[in-house]
Amino acid sequence: MSRRLRGLAPYALIAPGVLWLAAFFVLPMLAMLSVSLQEGDLAQGFTMTFNVGVYPQALADWSTQFARSVQYGLVATVVAILIGYPIAYTIAFRGGRHKNVLLLLIVLPFFTSFVIRTISWKFLLSDNGIVLGTLKDAGLLEPGFQLIATPLAVISGLVYNFLPFVVLPLYVTLERIDPRLIEAATDLYASRLEAFRRITLPLSLPGLFAASLLTFIPAVGDFVNAEFLGSRDTTMVGNVIQRLYLTNNDYPQASALSFILMAAISLGVFAYVRLLGGRELTA
């Protein structure tokens, strides 16, 4: 009996997580799939007709927004990694007794609402704001120069809001690297760059993998940054889904777009995992 109980212990430990995912992920996804196959309107109600044609129609109508979302997400992820990797590296290897303070500064923006942080960027990047207004008054920029309502503003907001998702997993991975490995590489006449390329970078791949996913996935589906910092020419698929749900009340097409977005991200993540390889992730 005790042996059977020990065998059931792992299943008992993961049961709450499985139930949580089933209740708040699987069931809502099935409900969304069901809604996407219905037809009707909010006044008359929706009926199940298994209208699979809504999927190619939604993809054809909003392909530009899909492509733009993926493009913005990829660019924001790459820029965030280029900024966040040196920060995480510095905290892990040079932070010393100030590591906790530096990490607190990284997560400090999360103490403020996501929307408020994005609106703050709108004030900072406005045409006559504290940044551009000062540069224009100094004659360093043309009076007509603007950042708001441009792709640069949207991507900048994405990078700022999701930068901690890059720094934290990278720091955890880098902090676990034994400094003696790097010292051994330098003792064997490897340069700093060579030691980084052969030792630090390969060992930090698991953190890099997690950071890229934690940034790319929410960035693709984000609509707040495009709403406050962008324009009609920078609309992302998240903005389309929001308006279809809340403004047009077109629940089937909004559900179809959401399901397509989730499926596309899942396939991309699967391909990314296969491309990166399991050996590096378990290093």
Q: What angle do CA 279, 282, 283 make, to 5 degrees?
A: 85
Mean pLDDT, residues 106-119: 89
147: domain CATH number?
Answer: 1.10.3720.10
Mean pLDDT value of segment 192-221: 90
| Residue 55 domain flag | no
Whether 56 is covered by a domain: the verdict is no
Q: What is the distance between the alpha carbons of residues 283 and 280, in angstroms, rounded to a whole number?
A: 5
Q: Where are the alpha helices (DSSP H) in the chain?
A: 2-21, 27-36, 54-61, 63-94, 99-107, 114-124, 132-137, 151-175, 179-187, 192-195, 201-203, 205-221, 224-229, 237-246, 251-276, 278-281
Over residues 68-92, the pLDDT tens digits come to 999 999 999 999 999 999 999 999 9
Token duo for residue 201: 């970078």
Instruction: Say what the pLDDT of residue 277 is.
Output: 57
Name the average pLDDT for the chain.
Answer: 88
Q: Which helix (H) or strand (E) holds 52?
A: none
Domain contains 7: no
Query: How many structural domains does the chain have?
Result: 1
Q: Residue 254 is part of which domain span?
A: 62-281
Average pLDDT, integer, range 110-131: 86
What is the pLDDT confidence band of residue 282, given thresholds at 50, 70 and 90? Answer: very low
133 lies in a domain?
A: yes
Q: Which of 229, 250, 224 is nearest to 239 (CA)?
A: 224
> Is 49 contained in some domain?
no
Q: How far apart are CA 83 and CA 101, in angstroms?
A: 19
Residue 51 lies in a domain: no
Domain assignment present for residue 43? The answer is no
Q: What is the pLDDT of residues 144-203, one digit of tens each?
A: 888 888 999 999 999 999 999 999 999 999 998 888 888 888 888 888 888 888 888 888
| Residue 229 within a domain | yes
pLDDT at 279 over 50: no
What is the mean predicted confidence (pLDDT) over 40-55? 88
